[in-house]
Amino acid sequence: ISAGGGRYSIHDLVAEEIQQKDFKGPGSFAMIGSKIPPLHDVWITNCTAFPPGVLISVYNPSEGPKMTGIKIEDNIFGASERQIGSTGGGPGNCAFQPGKLGPEGVLKSCFAEQSFASNVIVGGRGSWPASNVAVKDEASLGLRNISKGDFRPCGQGDSGCGKVSPALKAGRNGRNAGADMDAIEKATAGVR
């Protein structure tokens, strides 16, 4: 848990093999935890993740100031079993009873000056901020080949694609939502 940490940028990331069994963890994409003074200026942009347990777990003391400058934008996320949840801490946590608050309620309760926008969310339930795109399942997502790790959004007439992806140009500034697979492959060429 951070106390006063800030100016973190997590971007163009594909988070794969997020599962609980072998790694003995919660199966979550991100845990955002803060003490007083609160965490600030954290950007999670252009990431692709399909966690099985919880997409994002949050902790911030409910009696303290909210975290500020949190931007979670232009991502492709599987909503997972528990969507946006609590790391624990009972009523003293801003994310207490996340099932009752719903995803948008947790975001509002824990973050001030935040943006959760232009994300494509697979299987989301309940209230998510309106500026996101929700799709029913991975088949509705229109990615090239999820099972083989090719998370590129399908465009009109792309070979091997069944439908145009809602992630295509869904991000801010006309960028695709999710990780830039071409840039990742270029940066990791030859790496084992």
R_g of the chain, CA atoms, integer Å: 17
Q: What are the 10-residue block averages of pLDDT along the chain, 192 residues in total?
A: 90 88 85 94 97 94 95 95 91 96 96 96 92 92 91 88 92 93 94 87
Provide the pLDDT for residue 172.
87
Structure tokens at 117: 């926008």
Q: What's the residue count for the chain? A: 192
> Can you give the pLDDT at residue 187?
93
Distances in Å between the Cα of 140 and the Cα atoms of 97, 136, 152, 160 are: 30, 6, 14, 15
pLDDT at position 3: 85
- Residue pair 15/48 in contact by the 8 Å Cβ criterion: yes
Place of tokens 């801010």: 172
Tell me, what's the pLDDT at 42?
96
**CA dist 26 to 15, 29, 46, Å?**
14, 9, 23
3-state secondary structure 37-101: CCCEEEEEEEEEECCCCEEEEEECECCCCCEEEEEEECCEEECCCCCEEECCCHHHECCCCHHHH
State residue 80's pLDDT score. 85
Q: Say what the pLDDT of residue 137 is.
A: 92
Which H/E stretch holds residue 191? none
pLDDT at 141: 94
CA–CA separation, 115 and 35 (whole Å): 21
> β-strand 40-49 against 76-78: which pairing, if any?
parallel
Q: How far is CA 63 from CA 20, 95, 102, 135, in A?
A: 32, 12, 20, 36
Q: Judging by DSSP bridges, how do beta strands 6-15 and 40-49 pair with one another?
A: parallel
